[in-house]
C-alpha cells in the first residue's frame, strides 16, 4: 500500500529536550510538508520541501529544523527553542509533475511537553 507514515503516534518530551518526528512516504512524491495544528485551530505551515536537499521556511519555522536527504523522508526536529511545542503535527506530500495534485496527509504525531 502506498501512503505516508508518521512515527511515533504519541510523543512526550521534557522541557529542554530536542525531539525528532519521522515522516516517510512511498508515493514517489517530490514535495513534502510539515504542519502544526493546535486544538480548535487550522493547520499552520512549518517547513516544506519541493525537492531533495532543498527546503523552505513556512509561516512558523522558529524552533524547528528539517532535513531532506532522501526523496521519501522529511524528518522534523522540534528544538528546545520552540517554547510551546505541544500540538498535533501533520506531514503531507504532493506530486509536482502535472498541473495539480492534492496534498496527502499522514496520520499525525501528537506531541506533549511534560
In the complex, the residues that contact another protein under the rule CB under 8 A are: 31, 35, 40-45, 48, 50, 58-59, 90, 94, 96, 99-103, 105-108
40 burial (CB, 10 Å; 0-12 / 13-18 / 19+) is exposed
Place of cell 510538508: 33
Cβ at position 70, least distance to another protein in Å? 20
Cβ at position 80, least distance to another protein in Å? 27
Q: Which three cell numbers stand for residue 3?
A: 501512503
Gap between the Cα atoms of 107 and 114, Å rounded: 22
Cβ at position 32, least distance to another protein in Å? 12
Of the pair 38, 62, the CB lying nearest another protein is at 38
Gap between the Cα atoms of 27 and 64, Å rounded: 25
Of the pair 37, 79, the CB lying nearest another protein is at 37
Of the pair 45, 79, the CB lying nearest another protein is at 45
Count of Cβ atoms closer than 10 Å to residue 15 Cβ? 9
Amino acid at each position: 500500500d502506498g501512503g505516508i507514515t508518521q512515527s511515533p503516534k504519541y510523543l512526550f518530551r521534557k522541557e529542554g529536550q530536542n525531539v525528532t518526528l519521522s515522516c516517510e512516504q512511498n508515493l514517489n512524491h517530490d514535495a513534502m510538508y510539515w504542519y502544526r495544528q493546535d486544538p480548535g485551530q487550522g493547520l499552520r505551515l512549518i517547513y516544506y520541501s519541493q525537492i531533495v536537499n532543498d527546503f523552505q521556511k513556512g509561516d512558523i519555522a522558529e524552533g524547528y529544523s528539517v532535513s531532506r536527504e532522501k526523496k521519501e523522508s522529511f524528518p522534523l526536529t522540534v528544538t528546545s527553542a520552540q517554547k510551546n511545542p505541544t500540538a498535533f503535527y501533520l506531514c503531507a506530500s504532493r506530486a509536482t509533475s502535472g498541473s495539480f495534485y492534492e496534498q496527502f496527509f499522514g496520520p499525525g504525531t501528537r506531541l506533549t511537553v511534560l
